[in-house]
C-alpha cells in the first residue's frame, strides 16, 4: 500500500495552469496539463458518473487486465464513491481514463481503479486524472490518501507524492484461509 505524503507548500509548487486569476475560492491548482490543454486535444474531464457508459468502462478495465465486473455492481460502487475523475474522448464519448476514491469523506481516502485505455496511454491522461483526484480530496480536507500499487506502476505513483511504507507502516489485506477438504 502506498501513502501520499503532504506536498510542499504552495509557494514552492510550479503553476502550470492558466495565468488568469482563479474565480474559485481555492488557489489555482498546479496541474501538469491544464483543463484547456486537455480540451484542445479532444479530452473532456468529468467528475460525476453522468454520461459514463459502464460497459465501455468495463471494457477499459478488461483491456488492461482487470477482471470484467458486473456493471450493476460497478454502478453501486460508484454510488459509494467519494470522488471520481474520468476522461471522455470527445470524438467517441467513451471513457479513456478513470480513477476513483472511497473513504470517510473527512480524514481518509483510498484510490481505486486507476486506468487508462491502452490506446490513450503515455499521453499524460493518467497523471491528469490522478492530480485532479488528489486535489479534489485535499480540498475536502482529506489528507490521508492511500492506494494499492502493482510493483510495475510504483514509478507512476511516486512523482505524484506517494511513498511506500512511510515510517515503516505496512499495508495488510485480509486473505481468507483455505480449508483443507477431506
Active site residues: 157
149 part of the interface to ligand COA, by CB under 6 A: yes
Report whether 166 contacts 10 (CB < 8 A): no
Report whether 17 contacts 31 (CB < 8 A): yes
Closer residue to ligand COA in complex, CB, 103/124 = 124
Instruction: Determine the angle formed by the axes of helices 71-79 and 54-63, rounding to 10 degrees.
Output: 100
Size of the site for ligand COA (CB under 6 A): 17
Q: How far apart are CA 26 and CA 149, in angstroms?
A: 30
CA geometry: angle 27, 17, 23, nearest 5 deg: 40
Site residues for ligand COA, window 39-98 (CB under 6 A)?
Answer: 64
Binding segment for ligand COA (CB under 6 A), chosen from 41-49, 72-80, 109-117, 172-180, is 109-117
Q: Which of 34, 110, 156, 161 binds ligand COA (CB under 6 A)?
A: 156
Q: Which of 80, 152, 179, 182 binds ligand COA (CB under 6 A)?
A: 152
* Residue whose C-alpha cell reads 470527445 in the numeric block: 90
Look at residues 71, 50, 68 and name the one whose alpha carbon lies nearest to residue 59.
68
153 part of the interface to ligand COA, by CB under 6 A: yes
* Grid coordinates given for 149: 500499487
Closer residue to ligand COA in complex, CB, 65/141 = 65
Judged by the rule CB under 6 A, the positions of this chain that interact with ligand COA are 64, 114-116, 121-127, 149-150, 152-153, 155-156
Amino acid at each position: 500500500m502506498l501513502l501520499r505524503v503532504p506536498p510542499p507548500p504552495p509557494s514552492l509548487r510550479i503553476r502550470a495552469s492558466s495565468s488568469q486569476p482563479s474565480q474559485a475560492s481555492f488557489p489555482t491548482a498546479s496541474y501538469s496539463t491544464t483543463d484547456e490543454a486537455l480540451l484542445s486535444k479532444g479530452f473532456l474531464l468529468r467528475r460525476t458518473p453522468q454520461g459514463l457508459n459502464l460497459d465501455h468502462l468495463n471494457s477499459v478495465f478488461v483491456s488492461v487486465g482487470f477482471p470484467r465486473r458486473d456493471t450493476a455492481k460497478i454502478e453501486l460502487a460508484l454510488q459509494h464513491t467519494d470522488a471520481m475523475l474520468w476522461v471522455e474522448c470527445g470524438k467517441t464519448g467513451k471513457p479513456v481514463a478513470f480513477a476513483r476514491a472511497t473513504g470517510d469523506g473527512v480524514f481518509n481516502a483510498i484510490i481505486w481503479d486507476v486506468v487508462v485505455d491502452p490506446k490513450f496511454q503515455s499521453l499524460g491522461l493518467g497523471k491528469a486524472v490522478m492530480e485532479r483526484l488528489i486535489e479534489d480530496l485535499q480540498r475536502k480536507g482529506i489528507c490521508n490518501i492511500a492506494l494499492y500499487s502493482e510493483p510495475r506502476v510504483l514509478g507512476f505513483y511516486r512523482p505524484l507524492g506517494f511513498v511506500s511504507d512511510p515510517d515503516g507502516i505496512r499495508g495488510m489485506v485480509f486473505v481468507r484461509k483455505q480449508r483443507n477438504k477431506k
